[in-house]
């Protein structure tokens, strides 16, 4: 291994350690019990995230490429596989919160074991293919860091005692544009998708041309105060603003407000990482479904931007507080191809019946997102930090 | 009323009679009992279609515009409203097949009453707004004619006695291109959406520019023989071809073949309007879900076209035997606006979590569809005549 | 065949014709459409009853015992088998209302064919075993006559148009005891179960001794007026009167009154065979579940009688207007044995999680019930004519 | 307080401490995580049991009767109320396993706080009514000790790693009668129900006379080996042995063996508190539903005893290894009255659609059960130690 290679490996090792430690720091305020529960199917127990991100490196790097590596425990493949059919059977998703074993401590031991092996492995020469897998694994773990934050919020925020996550948690400031005026973007052909040398997910490719009609887009996200106007105007009780499917969702689930909002003695409270507190009307509204974002826009006689409109204008406004629902369905870009093998299951197989979100949220790891980044969720989900930017 | 107007009215009356009679002809081979049942939520009882299409003219034309018109029976609004929240409460969809009354004969009497009133009304001078509503009503009824055909097929084709609809039913010939070679379309900006003077649905507007990468599209639809190859290659048992949601659908519903296919003593049979018969391998495959269309394309290492690719190339191939699944989600075109009032509920509120189908089917009324026509269904539905055209 | 035998056969033939004709008379006010629907799983389409009672004679008498009998249509076994696993596969219960074919007319033709064969067969000498089967078949058909009445009531009474069954239907008078005083029965050993030469169902055997504590039982059933007192006292909103399972049932189904009651402009209406009419406060309350009967009794600080208490006192009060819920679970009597073969499936396999009802209802065929007769339903069902008699 | 009273109080305090400690000992082998999960609705998280049994004493004794007692945390009433509607709202049952807070340690602190208060309280003079509540509370906690054992077994036994509960757990020996011959009991009137001075539950009263026909009852429970014969004879695949509802249960849940049985490489294993081990054919079969017990008996052309037959003969055989399903439905005895207030919700409101079990199981606290004790569960449940004794 020559010097240049050594430096690269050493850089990767440093980055590996950094990402792995950050995951553990996110969990440091938790009680053992908080690691275990799964109050709703979309929320995984934190201990599962701790194990699954470890399993990812063991399964896709150590087992195939690190000669002499001894698998920590063959049963863990069954426990920590998320959705990779290629890699075998697994605990059904709704059962993740039913498993008391392995314990949190056992999973941290597993994590230590894999980390040690990984660091040994990273001191050897590694090829480009493996480096790519490693970087994918780190980005994968960063995605789980965001999920950890939102899953923890759900677990604590749906507990009748409303415990705080940590009084030290600092919520980022929002960069508001005063005297809001919509940004005008002219009709033209725009280049959409990732370009450059760094890492991107396969769903950001290929970069390709899109023809956009002239449009305007807001420099700010919709605020809690603005959203309250919608609520006070009867927005949740007027079918005309809603998709038929959204209206069914509102009625079947008796939805009356964003997630984490509580009306107590006539005042609106909101659960945050600091516990239950008065709603701040100046903050951007979040924890709303696509259905609600759409209905709000319809009530304003405006609309959500497409993901292409968002990307083409993203340099002209500030983003990163809440993921923003777009009108675009999550579909492959022209020329998209799934990778062969298990890694090919990463993104492609979810490209149906989901909506694209753009931007990032306050719990996205720093540097993880970018202008071309595509997040995606089903239209009824609300436990992510999801917000609204309007277009017309 | 001057002569020109009289001619127009008389033309409209003729067209009105034609469309209304055709609905009744479709039902003429039915037994009374066939009009009543609803074996699955998506399939409506034929008698409901007969009443609902009548209710449409009564509610949106006669009641608001025909002075002195006496509503036939106020209870019928509850029974025959489909999904118009604006127009009041209605029988829940799953209950349509639970209603023995009004009887078939009573509904035909209601139909006669409304038709008489409509013909009287059409002999008066009618304004442009009403004319538009009338033409919408006729197109609406043509859509129900297609549904009548497919709902009847479901009702008879899921009966354990497999009764024929009519031995006289003639299935149209398919125009095959021998020596199939994919049609090449060059990268360019294309105009998409309806242009011209005639009628179109609001979802075909606005006509707008779309940038398309170079692509190729097949001149033929996939045949039963080709689809059997996919089945024989284990296509329904290999998760790699499927969306995650599609794979769940296959497993939960134990899907092993297109709808209406039956394996009897080692031979594949297909239920058609003539009853149960041997599968014709040369016919285009139909009655498949979007999930199946996608999986077939993935297995061939090809893909489905977008609705824009389909429209831009549609003059170069023959279509009209089966509706064709596209990769496009059903979304509003730039500048789309919902009409005010109940008519605004026609299309817009369904623009989420559905896929666009293009073309037409063997049971689409002649002249009803066009190159810009957009049909749409949820990804798991199969009771329409749905097929596959491949692109790359 | 000697003369005595001939007379018996002829008597049986006469009785056979009588029972079969009565079934058809019950259906005579129906429209074809009323024969087809199944608005809830427990209610079968009338045409299914017509076919199933016919299938019973064909399957259990003609096919095994009538030499040279040609089965009418082998597919009908699949369509008209109710729950006899011994006799093969069958249409799942929830699909009965999804079958438009065979048509009503086809089923009546099937009925005629079987009746002709049966009458031929009954003119031959028949053995005791067959005679028993025949009498079972006739009692079976009488049970379906009662179900026909209640299923028809459900079908018409849940239609938004509330059509009458027949203006000629005569509801029997109730024999009230004025100055109601509970009947006292002394502590003793009582003989329970059928004794005598006539027909009884296997669940009425063996006759056996039961020790009863002293008890009192009401000579009258609870009236609508009395039940309204319970409702007005908040009976449906006070968990203390209810079983835990009953309370869940009330809340999940938003039960607020007996079935067929409608509160219109502050007045209580009740659907009957004559259509919707004002509630008669003097009639015995009916169409209530066991849960409601129990809750009413608990509210009165009384209780329901056991089936043994009911039987031991039945000669001292008048019964026959509504089936009466008892506190007894439906269990086998000492010495009960299931018959071998399909007939053994008649009663025994339902002896779990059901409650016994005693008496008869206004739609029970004359002479069908008796003091030892045991009817049984699940605790939440209400579509039978079910009422309340109190004990203490 | 005179000396006699002091001794009684001191005895009660000793007994209180004994019962409370035993609960904690049962949990001592658990990991924190094992306290948290609820893998199925019937199984409560052990930490919930720890809190709920504490809440019982706080709610029904300390709060109403101990002057100056300060409630530990008012929110805990919401968290630890099981089903007492009288005492207010509560976490819905399916959510018990979704609560990470209060933590295990916090609940033990709550327990300590209540125990201290209780011991102070028990050193004061207490009246008879309170003494009765206390003894009810101790019996209540003993019932939860049994549930703790069975819930823990479910939690660990359904984990894919099959962890042992404790290698030190000692399963009691079974007292077999060699050369099994059924015990004969003669026809007579028997006294059934509790008599004497000690504690009994309200459902064991009133003691009353029951007339029993002559019967025979087995001195032994059915063994695993005998049950395997039923399985090998196709017992799970022959509808004739089953109730209709049991047969649906078998098919819908794909039941093929008792709970905790696993067929691995052709050998039957059984999960026990020691982990997964080979099935012992000589042990009595357990973890079967009533449906299975009934089907086994039907296959043997025998039957289950009624609870009265069981009680009348219980002195003639040995019991206490597994609870034994009886043919009796859980119903009130003659003269049964619910206590007023919340305590009245203890037993009475469950007296519908459940079967009585008699005897005790290997995890019933010593001295808790007696010949007149009535346990009860729904017919499909299997997670208790439930077995079969035959009668004829």
Q: pLDDT, tens digit, for every residue of D345-362?
A: 777 889 999 999 999 999
For C385, phi and psi rounded to 5 degrees? -80, 85
How many cross-chain Cβ pairs, C to D, lie less than 8 Å apart?
A: 73
> Which of B29, B30, B35, B37 to mutate to probe the C interface, most C CBs <10 Å?
B37
D254 token code pair: 């794909």
Provide the pLDDT confidence category of residue A370 given band limits of 50, 70 and 90. Answer: very high
Mean pLDDT of all residues in B250-265 = 96
> Which of C29, C35, C37 to mutate to probe the B interface, most B CBs <10 Å?
C37
Instruction: Give the Cα separation of C342 and B352 in Å (integer).
Output: 52
Task: Quickly list H helices, B300-390.
Answer: 307-313
CB D84 within 8 A of CB C247: no
Q: D213 contacts in C (CB within 8 Å)?
A: 208-209, 334-335
Quote the pTM value: 0.95
Given a cut of 90, whether residue D341 has pLDDT beyond it is no
Instruction: Give the Cα separation of D76 and D52 in Å (integer).
Output: 9
pLDDT in tens, D19-67: 999 999 999 999 999 999 999 999 999 999 999 999 999 999 999 999 9
Task: Quickly list H helices, C66-204.
Answer: 75-80, 104-122, 128-157
Given a cut of 50, whether residue D1 has pLDDT beyond it is no
Between A389 and B346, the more confident residue is A389
Given a cut of 50, whether residue C1 has pLDDT beyond it is no
- Give the residue numbers in A contacting B (CB under 8 Å), as ranges: 83, 85-86, 189, 208-211, 213, 239-240, 242-247, 290-291, 294, 303, 327-329, 331-332, 334-335, 344, 349-353, 379
> How close C166 gets to chain D, by Cα (Å)?
36
pLDDT at A4: 56
Given a cut of 90, whether residue A211 has pLDDT beyond it is yes
pLDDT at D7: 63
Q: Which residues have C-beta within 8 Å of that of residue D357, sequence separation ≥ 6?
A: D323, D324, D325, D326, D374, D375, D376, D377, D384, D386
For D43, phi and psi rounded to 5 degrees? -95, 120
Q: Which residues have C-beta within 8 Å of that of residue B53, sequence separation ≥ 6?
A: B23, B140, B141, B144
Q: Which chains touch B (3 or more CB pairs under 8 A)?
A: A, C
Instruction: Give the Cα separation of B322 and B362 in Å (integer).
Output: 6
Lowest mean pLDDT among A47-51, A141-145, B135-139, C175-179: C175-179
Lowest mean pLDDT among B112-116, C73-77, D178-182: D178-182
pLDDT in tens, B4-23: 566 666 789 999 999 999 99
pLDDT at B1: 47
> How close C381 gets to chain B, by Cα (Å)?
19
Provide the pLDDT confidence category of residue A1 given band limits of 50, 70 and 90. Answer: very low
Provide the pLDDT confidence category of residue D308 given band limits of 50, 70 and 90. Answer: very high
Provide the pLDDT confidence category of residue D10 given band limits of 50, 70 and 90. Answer: confident
Provide the pLDDT confidence category of residue C94 given band limits of 50, 70 and 90. Answer: confident
pLDDT in tens, C122-134: 988 788 999 999 9
Instruction: Give the Cα separation of C20 and C138 in Å (integer).
Output: 8
Q: What angle do CA A380, A384, A387 make, to 5 degrees?
A: 80
pLDDT at D5: 62
Q: Which residues have C-beta within 8 Å of that of residue C166, sequence separation ≥ 6?
A: C29, C273, C274
β-pairing, D188-192 vs D208-212, is antiparallel
Chain D's closest residue to C208, CA to CA, is D213
Please give the mean pLDDT across all residues of chain A.
94
Count Cα neighbours of D158 within 13 Å in the Cβ-side half-sphere: 21
pLDDT at A8: 64
Nearest alpha-carbon partner for B323 in B82, B163, B149, B177: B149
- Is D155 in contact with A78 (Cβ distance < 8 A)? no
Task: Quickly list H helices, chain A.
Answer: 3-27, 46-57, 63-65, 75-80, 104-123, 128-157, 224-232, 244-252, 290-299, 307-313
> Which of A37, A78, A102, A158 to mutate to probe the D interface, most D CBs <10 Å?
A37
Instruction: Give the Cα separation of D319 and D359 in Å (integer).
Output: 6
Please give the mean pLDDT across all residues of chain B.
94
A74 token code pair: 């063959």
β-pairing, D267-272 vs D275-278, is antiparallel
Given a cut of 80, whether residue B179 has pLDDT beyond it is no
Provide the pLDDT confidence category of residue C8 given band limits of 50, 70 and 90. Answer: low
Given a cut of 50, whether residue D194 has pLDDT beyond it is yes
Q: Which chains touch A (3 or more CB pairs under 8 A)?
A: B, D
pLDDT at D90: 83
Instruction: Give the Cα separation of D132 and D341 in Å (integer).
Output: 15
- Is C243 in contact with D351 (Cβ distance < 8 A)? yes
- Is D78 in contact with A158 (Cβ distance < 8 A)? no
Between A83 and C304, the more confident residue is C304
Mean pLDDT of all residues in D281-296 = 97
Give the one of B83, B246, B329 whose C-beta lies nearest to A331's C-beta.
B329
Report the Cα D230 to chain-centroid distance in Å.
27
pLDDT at A302: 96
Nearest alpha-carbon partner for B386 in B166, B160, B159, B153: B153
B272-293 burial string, b = 16+ CB within 10 Å, else e? bbeebeebeeebbbbbbbbbbb
Mean pLDDT of all residues in D9-22 = 92
B39 token code pair: 């074996």
Given a cut of 80, whether residue A317 has pLDDT beyond it is yes
Measure Cα distances from B93 to B90, B103, B330, C260 in Å.
Answer: 8, 18, 23, 22
Provide the pLDDT confidence category of residue C361 given band limits of 50, 70 and 90. Answer: very high
CB D80 within 8 A of CB D96: no
Domain positions in chain A are: 3-157, 183-387
Give the one of C246, C331, C349 whose C-beta lies nearest to D327's C-beta.
C331
pLDDT in tens, C204-256: 999 999 999 999 999 999 999 999 999 999 999 999 999 999 999 999 999 99
Q: D78 contacts in A (CB within 8 Å)?
A: 160
Mean pLDDT of all residues in B51-63 = 96
A316 forms bridges with which residues in the sheet? none
| Percentage of chain C exceeding pLDDT 70 | 98
Nearest alpha-carbon partner for B172 in B316, B282, B320: B320
β-pairing, B267-272 vs B275-278, is antiparallel
3-class DSSP state of B170: coil
CA-atom Rg of chain C in angstroms: 22
Which architecture characterizes domain A183-387 according to CATH? Alpha-Beta Complex (3.90)
Sheet of B323-329: strands edge to edge? B375-377, B355-358, B323-329, B386-387
- Give the residue numbers in D contacting C (CB under 8 Å), as ranges: 83, 85-86, 189, 208-211, 213, 239-240, 242-247, 290-291, 294, 303, 327-329, 331-332, 334-335, 344, 349-353, 379
> How close C72 gets to chain B, by Cα (Å)?
14
Reported ipTM: 0.94
Mean pLDDT of all residues in A224-244 = 97
Measure Cα distances from D315 to A310, D198, D203 in Å.
Answer: 81, 19, 21
Chain C's closest residue to B43, CA to CA, is C98
Nearest alpha-carbon partner for B35 in B140, B166, B160, B152: B152
Mean pLDDT of all residues in C337-359 = 86
3-class DSSP state of C326: strand
Given a cut of 50, whether residue B200 has pLDDT beyond it is yes
Give the one of B209, B239, B244 whose C-beta lies nearest to A211's C-beta.
B209
Measure Cα distances from A218 to A1, A241, A308, A312, D34 in Å.
Answer: 52, 20, 15, 13, 50
C221 token code pair: 């059933």
Please give the mean pLDDT across all residues of chain D.
94
Given a cut of 60, whether residue B2 has pLDDT beyond it is no
Given a cut of 80, whether residue A344 has pLDDT beyond it is no
Chains B and D touch (3+ CB pairs under 8 A): no
CB C307 within 8 A of CB C359: no
Element (H, E) at D24: helix D3-27
Beta carbons within 10 angstroms of residue D232's beta carbon:
8
Nearest alpha-carbon partner for C379 in C279, C234, C232, C253: C253
Chains A and B touch (3+ CB pairs under 8 A): yes
pLDDT in tens, B132-164: 999 999 999 999 999 999 999 999 999 999 999
Instruction: Give the Cα separation of D386 and D361 in Å (integer).
Output: 8
CB C206 within 8 A of CB C333: yes
pLDDT in tens, D58-107: 999 999 999 999 999 999 999 998 878 877 788 888 889 999 999 999 99
Residues in chain C: 392
CATH of domain B3-157: 1.20.120
Given a cut of 70, whether residue D8 has pLDDT beyond it is no
């Amino acid at each position: 291994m020559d010097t240049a290679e050594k430096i690269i490996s050493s850089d990767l090792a440093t980055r590996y350690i950094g990402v792995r430690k950050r995951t553990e720091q996110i969990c440091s305020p938790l009680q053992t019990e908080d690691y275990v529960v799964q109050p709703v199917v979309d929320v995984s127990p934190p201990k599962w995230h701790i194990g699954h991100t470890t399993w990812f490196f063991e399964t896709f790097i150590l087992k195939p490429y690190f000669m002499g590596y001894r698998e920590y425990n063959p049963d863990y493949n069954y426990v920590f596989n998320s959705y990779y059919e290629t890699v075998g059977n697994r605990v059904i998703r709704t059962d993740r919160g039913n498993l008391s074993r392995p314990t949190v401590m056992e999973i941290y031991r597993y994590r230590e074991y894999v980390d040690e092996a990984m660091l040994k492995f990273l001191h050897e020469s590694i090829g480009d293919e493996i480096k790519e897998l490693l970087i994918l694994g780190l980005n994968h773990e960063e995605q789980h860091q965001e999920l950890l934050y939102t899953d923890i919020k759900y677990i604590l925020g749906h507990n009748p005692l409303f415990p705080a996550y940590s009084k030290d948690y600092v919520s980022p400031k929002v960069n508001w544009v005063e005297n809001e005026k919509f940004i005008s973007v002219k009709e033209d052909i725009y280049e959409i998708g990732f370009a450059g040398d760094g890492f991107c997910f396969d769903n950001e490719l290929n970069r390709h041309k899109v023809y956009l009609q002239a449009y305007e887009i807001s420099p700010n996200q919709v605020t809690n105060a603005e959203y309250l106007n919608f609520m006070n105007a009867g927005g949740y009780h007027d079918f005309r603003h809603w998709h038929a499917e959204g209206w069914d969702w509102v009625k079947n689930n008796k939805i009356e407000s964003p997630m984490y909002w509580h009306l107590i003695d006539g005042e609106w409270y909101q659960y945050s990482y600091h516990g239950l507190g008065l709603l701040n009307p100046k903050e951007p509204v979040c924890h709303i479904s696509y259905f609600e974002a759409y209905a709000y826009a319809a009530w304003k006689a405006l609309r959500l931007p497409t993901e292409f409109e968002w990307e083409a204008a993203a340099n002209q406004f500030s983003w990163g507080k809440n993921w923003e629902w777009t009108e675009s369905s999550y579909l492959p870009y022209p020329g998209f191809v799934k990778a062969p093998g298990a890694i090919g299951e990463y993104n492609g197989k979810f490209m149906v019946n989901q909506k694209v979100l753009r931007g990032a949220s306050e719990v996205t790891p720093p540097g993880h997102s970018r202008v071309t980044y595509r997040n995606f969720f089903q239209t009824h989900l609300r436990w992510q930090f999801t917000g609204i930017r309007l277009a017309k």
